[in-house]
Homo-oligomer: A and B are copies of this chain.
Amino acid sequence: MMQAEYLQRFARVALAGLNLQRGQSLAIKMEPEHAEIAAVVAEHAYRAGARYVDIWAESTRFLRSRLDHSLPEHLDYVPEHRALRNAEFLRDGWALLSLKGPIDPAVMEGADAERSGRINRVVSSVDAPLRRALATDETQWLVMAPPSPKWASRVIGISDGTAALAAMWEALVPVLRLNEDDPAAFWKRHGAGLKERAATLNDLQIRSLRFRDDGTDLDVPLHASARWIGGGATTQGGVDFSPNIPTEEVFTAPNAPKVSGRVAITRPVRVLGGLVRDGWFEFRDGAVVDYGATSGGDHLAAFLSVDEGSRSIGEIALVDSSSPIYQTGLVFENILLDENAACHFALGAAYPTCIAGGARMDDDELIAHGANRSRQHVDFMFGSDDIEVSAVAADGETVPIMKKGRFAL
């Protein structure tokens, strides 16, 4: 397949995932370097009757310059038009495509974690209403990760950017199912399969999950109102969409204050721009009481101090080793891809939609249902080919969920 054909197929999948409605506007949140692929998506969007396609440029390079050189008194500043833009988006029911493929994975290495956390706190706070609206599926949103030369070099392990990019597109063909005659139809079928798995888990009325693996023995109780979700979402207005492509997970919100045990992280994770390797956490009464990592520990520390909810679990997700992302054998150092390779949890906010009736609850009600609140949400993968997952069901029975890394349901 030629590069131009990949772009066309990627854009077709994006539009299918967004299910953009005629007359609806689309914002594309992107690194400026995503210009080429974003322009192809824009073309497909206008063909689908988009009212307008807006560029929301967020440059990690600009952020790094700011982190390194800004006077400290300017770090808390966010232009007012960001909040006004977000408000217009929500008022007029736009859809959001986030292109989250990194341009240069090394660009944030060595950045000051405290300054990074400070900027993150302010921007998160401005974006809070938008984030909340998307988490409750007020309108369609979709995260995808288009490849780019430097990222591809890092993932594939060859220095020539052009060759690495070609190899990464090749690796993404089975992951994004770009070789399907009709990739949009595939993602619809695939979503239905994940929805069925979520329904099976909901029928079990699981009281608690136990995860065991090398370095991991974690208890994750669930509130009676927790709901398993997977394979797509539906807006409050009834429009089906896919929030993530690829997606291989089913997930819910744990009863956050009850989580306990120890967990060893099996894939590197970017936290506030820093790469955290070989992380581990110990939980007591739902909160991190100890943690460590062979690198990125200072970024982890900055992350955990953003707010109280950053130290508790907001999401627990099941992915088995039959996942095409796991099968690539690659570590993407990108959450969208890596989270769909293995079981994971998120430190930070729960999705309100994981609680029955949660989309209409305020923070206090959500907390009363065990759902964690925070300005942040970062996934940590702890699954492997060896992980054992069991559940205690409503009837008190212990049910095997995963054996040796594969679903046993």
Contact = CB atoms under 8 A, between A and B. Distances in A.
Nearest to A30: B32
A181 interface: no
Contacts of A34: 32
How many copies make up the complex?
2
B32 A50 contact: no
Contacts of A58: 55
A66 B22 CA distance: 14
Contacts of A202: none
A51 B32 contact: no
A62 B84 CA distance: 22
Interface in A26-60: 30-36, 38-39, 42-43, 46-47, 49-55, 57-59
A304 to B, nearest CB: 27
Nearest to A25: B79
Contact of A35 (B59, B78, B80): B59
Interface residues of A, number: 43
A360 to B, nearest CB: 28
A277 to B, nearest CB: 27
A88 B54 CA distance: 19
A206 to B, nearest CB: 44
A65 interface: yes
A57 B53 CA distance: 12
Given A59-B55, A62-B55, A88-B81, A50 B33 contact: no
Contact of A66 (B30, B53, B62, B85): B53
Contacts of A22: 71
A62 B39 contact: yes
A55 B57 contact: yes
A61 to B, nearest CB: 4
Contacts of A38: 32, 59, 62
Nearest to A86: B81
A42 B32 CA distance: 14
Q: Specify which of A23, A47, A57, A66 lies most central, judged by the most chain B CB atoms within 10 Å of its CB.
A: A57
Contacts of A65: 39, 42-43, 46, 53
Contacts of A62: 38-39, 42, 53, 55
A50 B46 CA distance: 37
Nearest to A47: B69
Q: Specify which of A61, A62, A71 lies most central, judged by the most chain B CB atoms within 10 Å of its CB.
A: A62
Contacts of A50: 70, 74
A81 B85 contact: yes
Contacts of A23: 74
A66 B43 CA distance: 7
Contacts of A25: 77, 79
B81 A69 contact: no
Contacts of A85: 79, 81, 84-85
A324 B313 CA distance: 64
B39 A61 contact: yes
Interface in A379-405: none
A78 B22 CA distance: 17
Contacts of A70: 46, 50
Interface of A: 22-23, 25, 30-36, 38-39, 42-43, 46-47, 49-55, 57-59, 61-62, 65-66, 68-71, 74, 77-81, 84-85, 88
5 contacts: A49-B71, A52-B78, A53-B65, A81-B88, A84-B85
